[in-house]
Amino acid sequence: MLAKLSPALLTPEMIWPNRYNHDLDAITGALWSIGPGGGRFFKANRRQLSVQEKLDLLVQAGVTHIEAHDTDILGLVGLTGYPSDWSESHKMDVMQKAAVRFGHELDVRKLRCGMWTMNLFASEPEFNFANFGSEIDGVRQLSIDRTCRGIDAAIDVLNANVYVYWVGTNGVDGTLSAFHPKRLYRTREALIEILDRSATKHGAKMLPFAIEPKPEEPKDAMYLGTTGDAMTMILWIALTHPHLAKLLGVNIETAHPKMAKADPAMDIGYALSLGKLFHVHENGQRNGPAFDQDEAAGDDDLRALVDRMWQLHTAGYKGLIGTDVQPLPCDRDHQQAESVTRSVRNIKWAVKKARELDPKIMAALQAQHNQSGIYEYINRVLFGIG
């Protein structure tokens, strides 16, 4: 189905081959999804858990793959972050050792590494000044080099499914803070350097590289902040480097389009239509534009969750479905993984319901733009109403 959808705008060599064999049955859990809580105005009310404890809870929650930042696994080597007085080479050597131990912990639990990413936002104070698009050459190069080391670990140590770049702090702090074409060009050239270095080194083992858009937070506004922005960047790179654009896609997180007053199902559709949906993050986001709430998938709107699963099912998506969620602020120690558990359950329910929707009935109703008929039909199939 995806091959039929992809237009001639992107030639086959510019689209990542379908290297997965999942059928909406592989759901991931993230180490960062289990935390002590708290924030600017709240004290932590849950115990900080070890990496091993988090993995055990995620297994119980029913996930098949694990996601992590480099900083999430440093506890395996007795660290909570990178010491400021260490050299960059020493930091990355220690990260590599932590990745080896992380891989072992996954193996003993019969888990796979799904999404892997380097923390280019909170790991160093330098990243306060952006990452790929930073005006400061040293900061920009640090983000490039760390990403390349992260891709090395993802391929050589963790056998991860996909590398994800969250735009993080790559944005602006207010009005007149940047000449945007310059910052965008620096971001583009950073992506090209990373992909070229990594693909040259790893050859056929190179893994998909997905941009995760986010419109704002922590910066006032972000470069590559929406799915449209990310797709424009991919096509921009494809104009001159089609062999590298092939490696580039997107990871769409449900909450982020909602923060931009967009429909995540439509963003998924944009990415699917170009063969560029490399990963999905499901979570709940109430009240439209707001901070990134990361509630359990479906807690905000079960019908919309089915819509997204139906889009994926109809298109034949074979990638992973991630659960980028957090415990509710009021959750206690015994509820550390409840948001993940509920997300897995809700996603599996939504996939089942998406498969129960008769494609002929759906196509007939859609062909007539019969929205009332669609609501009647899906309410009956989903909830037994009517």
Q: Which residue matches tokens 């081959």?
A: 17
Sign of the alpha-carbon dihedral angle for 179, 185, 191, 193: negative
- Straight-line distance from the first to the last Cα atom of the chain, in angstroms, rounded to the nearest whole number: 32
Q: Does any domain span residue 383?
A: no
Pairing of strands 171-172, 209-212: unpaired
User: What's the one-letter identity of residue 9?
Assistant: L
Please tell me the total number of residues recorded for the chain in this structure. Answer: 386
* Residue 382 within a domain: no
Any domain includes 378: no
- Segments forming the whole domain that contains residue 114: 2-356
Confidence (pLDDT) at 10:
52
Other Cβ atoms closer than 10 A to 322: 30
Q: Is residue 87 part of a domain?
A: yes
* In a domain? residue 377: no
pLDDT of residue 16: 56
Please calculate the CA angle 126-175-227 and round it to the nearest 5 degrees: 75
172-196 pLDDT, tens digit each: 999 999 999 999 999 999 999 999 9
Residue where the block lists tokens 């797709």: 231
pLDDT (tens digit per residue) in 41-69: 888 999 999 999 999 999 999 999 999 99
What CATH number does residue 241 fall under?
3.20.20.150
* Each residue's pLDDT tens digit, 193-224: 999 999 999 998 999 999 999 999 899 999 99
The total of structural domains in the chain comes to 1
Token representation of residue 91 = 């930091």
Is residue 368 situated within a structural domain?
no
**385 in a structural domain:** no
Task: Evaluate whether residue 93 is within a structural domain.
Answer: yes
